[in-house]
């Protein structure tokens, strides 16, 4: 045992000295190891800081109180977890149940206690344009118990019932010097304050009982002072019908056995499929880091060949030679892991204000998750150790005589590796096919085989990379000298070339797979998007039975008179009376549409003018056909398939609130026109001429305000506030077509940026190491008359070889999981009980050719140009044999 430790001590000492001597190469390895550790550390620390536990955010919720107690009317059989507001609670509603009073709460808790009432909720207030929404907190902010719930910025806390304090976000909406509530109550604004829980949010702070709010923390609530409220006291208050958030219980929550049986949730933990995919992602990241760091260890092992040969000549074993190279992985991996963790924590601290800007919920105290970060550091150490494994085994099998004689003892390529690689790629294709098959069935569960196929495909690609490098070298005979030299040198020194090529390929494979999946998912969203109005139009909708349509029309004309607001009429579907419309062509099934619904409070529009059909957002062909039919006095019935025009039976039935059966108002048979709609969806069932509506004896009323000219974003905000002042149920909608989620755009940019950084980093690192290793060859070229720019050409050529071979391999391999994952992502076969309607696909595939071309061709060319421009033209003469 002591001999083994001595051997490792010697190897570590040699590795430490080699790291100091070859500080540039060591720095590259440190960067490659530390960067992923830094990124994960920063992300984990920021996430932990963002995720506040109950005890961390207790002051923001309770102030300095020992507990908050709240009740609901008619609540009985109350049960709760340690935190009823976030962890869960249950109760039964009984009309005879009465909530406990403040006195009962204090008597139950016992001791010398006092309580301060608090109410949180929402309210509406008047703005310059109409109505706005705000959160509200009503309590005695001068009481020490409430300290920590909000922070006063200016002015003073409310001292009377006609005063309020508001947040800056509300003040920016220009409510005036007084806050006018929806009911007309005017309150003086005497200061500004900010919630300690949320930022950039409209808040109103007042004294208890002042604000008519929609409660969010119960019908009654109190902050209770005094000693700790323990779990037994919480259960006693539950028996009275109250819920309790206790500071002591949050700090020391009860065990599962102490909870009510209804609250003993079975926490199954992370789903097995999610765990599998998470493990596969970690494996992929580990492979990427190992491949990126592999060339540096390969070059380091080559530079130590003479030292290792001397050790072998002096009686050293291959195991001792391997330990020397593996020790480099231990030294550099440990240093990189520690450096990454330290810098990651510092980066998280620096980025916290920036990340906070994107979240309205305020972060908790800066929190470093030390235990998970230990695993992250171990990841860095293991990745460096694995990166050194292959160079260590190759170095231990070198020809000692050849090395001591000044020749390089390169080993022959394995003939079995490419065959194993082909088998692995075949297995990956089979796994992807299995995932597609599962995803296309009703059972689902295709994600795990597809994710596994990605890892297997990358492993197979690593074994095939040497074949691709050698094949390119054999085809390089007609290329210019710099490219020919680079290709053949890359094939000759596969130990440093293959990891770099594989790292680039793994990066491109990930980019291509994710790019295809994200683009296909976006294509599905775009193709299945159904406009609710004609493009560019706007509408005001209110489903109330007695909506004030003239007021809505006046508001729209005031905001956008140039857009020509007008009223649309139809058979109303809102209100308490239910109206049912049926249309059936003779000889056709009863159901003409799979679904319908839009921005109008009706399923049947009654057109006073054929142009009214323009409000329905139909495509040009369908809209033109509908206009011609209405001009001829024929009703238009929408269908999700091709239906011949002809006689149709139209029926209107009605059911009043207290009636059990439908009453038929009218039924007619007329010649109608069937208009197929895209996506098996229509905004309404039909459009009737006024004459047909009269024959049906159907109720006809205003059902919406149409703004044909549309609204700008500012006009939409103004109109929304105006209609909110008329009714809280009204809605303003502007049809702007499909809008790509900003998160998708950000993900694509991050994906492209990450791929570019990894490709550039891997290629430039490998090229730099190759040029360092090829100094004797380049010096010989210079000695026999090669021009200085030849070295620049070789540098660019080597970068092009590594980047191009890796990107082509990666694109082919990445397409396997990329195409397969589109099936579970975009499969729509389960949406329909019968045949898929015309015009709809069962799944969507959209390949981002431009992005792939940029990654496969653009980035390798860019890398080659950068390397050629940055490489030194002249080298000092060195000995040819080392």
In whole angstroms, give the CA distance from residue 788 to residue 492.
Answer: 23
Check if the beta carbon of residue 362 is closer than 8 Å to that of residue 49. Answer: no
In whole angstroms, give the CA distance from residue 875 to residue 23.
Answer: 20
Check if the beta carbon of residue 380 is closer than 8 Å to that of residue 340. Answer: yes
Q: Largest Cα–Cα distance in the chain? A: 110
In whole angstroms, give the CA distance from residue 672 to residue 692.
Answer: 11
DSSP assignment of 639-673, as one string? ESS----EEEEEEEEEE-TT-SS-EEEEEEEEEEE
Predicted pLDDT at 881? 46
Q: In which residue are the tokens 């210079």 written?
A: 782
- DSSP designation for 594: S
CA neighbor of 847 nearest in space, from 513, 528, 526, 527: 513
In whole angstroms, give the CA distance from residue 308 to residue 117.
Answer: 79
Predicted pLDDT at 267? 47
- Backbone Cα Rg of the chain: 36
- Locate 364 and state its tokens: 């908790």
Cross-strand pairs, 198:
361
Check if the beta carbon of residue 373 is closer than 8 Å to that of residue 337. Answer: no
DSSP assignment of 420-480, as one string? HHHHHHHHHHHHHHHHHHHHHSSS---HHHHHHHHHHHHHHHHHHHHHHHHHHHHTGGGS-
Check if the beta carbon of residue 539 is closer than 8 Å to that of residue 706. Answer: yes
Single pTM value for the model: 0.68
Q: How far is CA 89 from the centre of its chain?
A: 29
Give the contacts of 528 (CB within 8 A, at least 6 positions apart). Answer: 679, 828, 840
| pLDDT, averaged in runs of 10, over the chain (882 residues) | 63 81 79 81 82 74 92 86 82 82 91 90 81 88 92 92 91 81 87 89 90 63 92 92 91 85 60 57 71 72 73 76 83 88 90 78 81 84 81 72 60 75 92 82 69 86 88 87 86 80 84 85 80 79 81 89 84 74 78 70 84 74 86 86 83 79 85 77 83 87 83 86 82 83 66 71 73 73 76 85 90 90 74 54 82 87 84 57 45
Give the contacts of 347 (CB within 8 A, at least 6 positions apart). Answer: 38, 41, 42
Q: In which residue are the tokens 């608090």 written?
A: 118
Predicted pLDDT at 808? 93
Task: Using the CB atoms, write b or e for 15-30: b if 16+ within 10 Å.
Answer: bbebbeebeebbebbb
3-state secondary structure of 535: coil
Check if the beta carbon of residue 459 is closer than 8 Å to that of residue 471. Answer: no
DSSP assignment of 103-167, as one string? HHHHHHH-SS--EEE-EEEEEEEE-SSSEEEEEEEES-TTSGGGTTSEEEEEE----STTEEEE-
DSSP assignment of 206-275, as one string? E-TT----EESS-SEEEEE-SS---HHHHHHHHHHTEEEEEHHHHHSPPPGGGS-GGG------S-HHHH
Query: Residue 680: left if φ>0, alpha if ψ -120 to 50, beta else—which one?
Result: left
- Locate 870 and state its tokens: 């940055």
Give the contacts of 221 (CB within 8 A, at least 6 positions apart). Answer: 68, 69, 70, 71, 117, 118, 119, 120
DSSP assignment of 807-826, as one string? HHHHHHHHHHHHHHHHHHHH
Give the contacts of 596 (CB within 8 A, at least 6 positions apart). Answer: 603, 638, 681, 682, 683, 684, 685
Predicted pLDDT at 875? 54
Predicted pLDDT at 268? 45
DSSP assignment of 701-731, as one string? EEEEEEETT---HHHHHHHHHHHHHH-TT-E
Check if the beta carbon of residue 823 is closer than 8 Å to that of residue 440. Answer: yes
Phi, psi of 135 (to 5 degrees): -85, 155
Give the contacts of 500 (CB within 8 A, at least 6 positions apart). Answer: 291, 292, 294, 295, 762, 763, 765, 766, 802, 806
Q: Between the CA of residue 814 and those of 86, 104, 287, 603, what are the distances in Å?
A: 41, 67, 15, 47
Long-range contacts of 835-842 (CB under 8 A, 24+ apart): 837/594, 837/640, 837/641, 837/679, 837/680, 838/640, 838/641, 838/642, 838/676, 838/680, 839/678, 839/679, 839/680, 840/528, 840/679, 840/680, 841/527, 842/440
Stated as kind and residue range, the H or E segment containing 775 is: helix 775-783
């Amino acid at each position: 045992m002591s001999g083994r430790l001595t051997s490792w001590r010697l190897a570590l000492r040699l590795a430490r000295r080699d790291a100091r001597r070859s500080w540039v190469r060591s720095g590259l390895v440190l960067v490659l190891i530390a960067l992923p550790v830094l990124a994960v550390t920063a992300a984990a620390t920021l996430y932990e800081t963002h995720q506040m536990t109950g005890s961390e955010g207790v002051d923001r919720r309770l102030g300095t109180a020992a507990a908050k107690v709240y009740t609901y009317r008619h609540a009985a059989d109350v049960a709760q977890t340690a935190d009823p507001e976030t962890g869960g609670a249950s109760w039964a509603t009984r009309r005879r149940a009465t909530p406990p009073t403040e006195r009962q709460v204090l008597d139950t808790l016992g001791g010398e206690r006092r309580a301060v009432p608090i109410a949180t909720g929402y309210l509406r207030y008047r703005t310059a344009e109409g109505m706005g929404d705000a959160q509200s907190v009503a309590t005695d902010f001068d009481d020490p118990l409430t300290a920590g719930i909000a922070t006063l910025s200016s002015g003073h806390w409310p001292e009377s019932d006609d005063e309020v304090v508001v947040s800056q976000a509300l003040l920016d909406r220009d409510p005036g010097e007084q806050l006018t509530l929806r009911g007309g109550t005017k309150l003086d604004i005497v200061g500004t304050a900010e919630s300690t829980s949320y930022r950039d949010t409209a808040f109103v702070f007042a004294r208890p009982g002042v604000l008519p709010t929609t409660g969010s923390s119960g019908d009654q609530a109190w902050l209770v002072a005094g000693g700790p409220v323990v779990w037994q006291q919480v259960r006693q208050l539950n028996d009275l019908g109250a819920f309790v958030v206790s500071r002591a219980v949050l700090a020391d929550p009860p065990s599962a056995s102490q909870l009510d049986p209804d609250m003993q949730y079975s926490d199954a933990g992370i789903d097995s499929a999610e765990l599998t995919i998470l493990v596969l992602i970690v494996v992929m990241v580990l492979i990427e880091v190992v491949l990126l760091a592999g060339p540096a260890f390969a070059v380091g092992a080559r530079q130590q060949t003479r030292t290792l040969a001397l050790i072998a000549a002096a009686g050293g074993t291959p195991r001792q030679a391997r330990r020397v190279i593996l020790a480099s992985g231990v030294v550099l991996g440990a240093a990189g892991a520690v450096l990454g963790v330290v810098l990651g924590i510092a980066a998280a601290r620096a980025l916290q204000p920036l990340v906070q800007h994107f979240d309205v919920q305020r972060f908790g105290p800066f929190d470093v998750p030390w235990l998970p970060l230990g695993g992250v550091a171990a990841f860095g150490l293991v990745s460096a150790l694995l990166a050194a494994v292959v160079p260590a085994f190759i170095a231990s099998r070198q020809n000692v005589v050849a090395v001591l004689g000044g020749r390089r003892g390169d080993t022959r390529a394995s003939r079995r590796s490419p065959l194993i690689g082909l088998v692995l790629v075949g297995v990956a294709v089979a796994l992807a096919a299995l995932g597609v098959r599962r995803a296309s069935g009703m059972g689902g569960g295709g994600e795990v085989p597809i994710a596994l196929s990605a890892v297997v495909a990358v492993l197979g690609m690593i074994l095939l990379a040497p074949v691709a490098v050698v094949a390119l070298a054999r085809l390089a005979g007609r290329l210019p000298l710099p490219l020919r030299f680079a290709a053949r040198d890359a094939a000759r020194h596969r130990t440093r070339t293959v990891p770099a090529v594989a790292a680039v390929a793994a990066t491109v494979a990930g980019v291509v797979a994710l790019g295809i999946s994200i683009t296909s998912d976006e294509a599905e969203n775009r193709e299945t998007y159904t406009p609710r109005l004609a493009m560019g139009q706007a509408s005001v909708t209110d489903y109330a039975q007695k909506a004030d349509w003239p007021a809505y029309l006046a508001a729209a004309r005031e905001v956008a008179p140039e857009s020509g607001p007008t009223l649309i009429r139809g058979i109303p579907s809102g209100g308490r009376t239910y109206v049912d419309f049926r249309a059936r062509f003779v000889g056709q099934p009863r159901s003409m549409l799979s679904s319908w619904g839009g921005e109008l409070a009706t399923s049947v529009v009654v057109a006073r003018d054929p142009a009214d059909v323009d409000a329905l957002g139909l495509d040009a062909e369908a809209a033109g056909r509908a206009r011609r039919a209405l001009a001829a006095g024929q009703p238009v019935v929408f269908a999700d398939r091709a239906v011949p025009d002809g006689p149709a039976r139209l029926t209107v039935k009605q059911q009043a609130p207290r009636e059990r059966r439908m009453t038929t108002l009218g039924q007619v048979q007329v010649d109608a026109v069937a208009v197929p709609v895209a996506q098996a969806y229509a905004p309404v069932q039909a459009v009737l001429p006024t004459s047909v509506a009269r024959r049906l004896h159907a109720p006809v009323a205003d059902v919406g305000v149409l703004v044909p000219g549309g609204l700008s974003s500012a006009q939409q905000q103004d109109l929304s506030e105006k209609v909110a002042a008329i009714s809280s149920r009204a809605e303003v909608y502007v049809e702007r077509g499909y809008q790509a989620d900003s998160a998708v755009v950000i993900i694509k940019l991050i994906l492209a940026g990450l791929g570019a950084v990894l490709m550039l980093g891997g290629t430039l690192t490998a090229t730099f190491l190759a040029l360092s290793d090829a100094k004797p060859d380049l010096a010989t070229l210079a000695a026999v008359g090669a021009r200085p720019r030849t070295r620049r050409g070789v540098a660019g050529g080597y970068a092009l070889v590594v980047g191009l071979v890796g990107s082509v391999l990666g694109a082919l391999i990445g397409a396997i999981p990329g195409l397969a994952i589109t099936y579970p992502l975009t499969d729509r076969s389960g949406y329909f009980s019968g045949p898929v309607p015309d015009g709809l696909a069962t799944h969507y595939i959209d390949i981002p050719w431009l992005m792939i071309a940029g990654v496969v061709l653009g980035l390798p060319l860019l890398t080659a140009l950068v390397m050629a421009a940055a490489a030194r033209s002249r080298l000092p003469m060195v000995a040819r044999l080392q």
